[in-house]
Amino acid sequence: MPEIVTLTMNPALDIATSAEAVIPTEKMRCGPPRYDPGGGGINVARVVKILGGEAFAVFPAGGPAGLALEGLLERDGVPHQRIPIKGVTRESFTVDERRSGQQYRFVLPGPSLSGDEQRACLESLVEHVANARFIVASGSLPPEVKPDFFRGVADLAKRSGARFVLDTSGEALRQTRQGVYLLKPSLRELRECVGRELRSEAEQVEAAQELIADGRSEVIVISLGAQGALLVTAQGFQRLAPIDVPIRSAVGAGDSMVAAITLGLVRGLDLEHAVRFGMAAGAATLMTPGTELCRRDDVEKLYSNQFIRKAI
């Protein structure tokens, strides 16, 4: 089994297209659609595959969209386990407006999951983590799933000896307590978690180290968008400079970052270099249109260029 196992509790069938202009009430003729399997952990598994690694994806899915999502994962050669559910998997719709270059993203809430369906997801994880070094849970929780759900995943990771990487937001992030190896919040998500503005770098580091001191995570990587990233541990912090690339779409950039960080750690990179690898994957995804994720050549080039610039 792969050394990385991902969990996506709220997957989506991602649909991307383009239109000359997005105008209220008018019928807008769109370009050819692109269909991709989506949702945080699924994107992580896909990027690991793109970068030459292997990951196993666990997710609940149902209805025609759920079956289509599974078929797309089979197309992409991503090993997975679909947990059948009664509800219908959500669709997410992205439209690139050609006239302005703006992107419009429509994200649906997802189906409710019964208690039995939630337990089936955890049971599937148990079946597939025997050789896992990392369990990655990424994305939102669907309706009626309690915000402390990821505590059960953290407990499972501890029992299995795997490190738990978590990328979530809102109440699910606030409900983290212990057992997480690495958290990757955006600055907005960190602000919401601690309930403060965090205007300065010092305040951002202080907030992250508070979470670490509380035992909620060993490592926190704060993604700062155009300002780069902050790598924070109990021993200190490091600011990593942004990678300047032309932006076509932000879909999946955060998931790509998580995927490459985790794969980098599996490959023996230290934390700094793993995060730099993650930043390269996130930046490479920004360069691709619609719901397309990163391309391996772009990631490797952007990763190498960081050290060339640093040397200069």
Cβ neighbour number for residue 22 with a 10 Å cutoff: 15
pLDDT at residue 51 tops 90: yes
Question: Would you state the pLDDT for residue 307?
Answer: 77
* 0.75 surpassed by pTM: yes
pLDDT band, residue 286 (cuts 50/70/90): very high
Question: Would you state the pLDDT for residue 226?
Answer: 87
Question: Would you state the pLDDT for residue 310?
Answer: 61
pLDDT in tens, 252-266: 999 999 999 999 999
| Residues 6 or more apart in contact with residue 302 via CB below 8 angstroms | 243, 245, 279, 280, 283, 284
Quick one: 268 exposed, middle or buried, by C-beta within 10 A (0-12, 13-18, 19+)? exposed
Q: What is the mean pLDDT of residues 16-44?
A: 96
Question: Would you state the pLDDT for residue 309?
Answer: 63
* Cα distance between residue 89 and residue 223, in whole Å: 29
Catalytic residues: 255
Q: What is the DSSP string of 222-286?
A: EE-GGG-EEEEETTEEEEE-------S--TTHHHHHHHHHHHHHHTT--HHHHHHHHHHHHHHHH
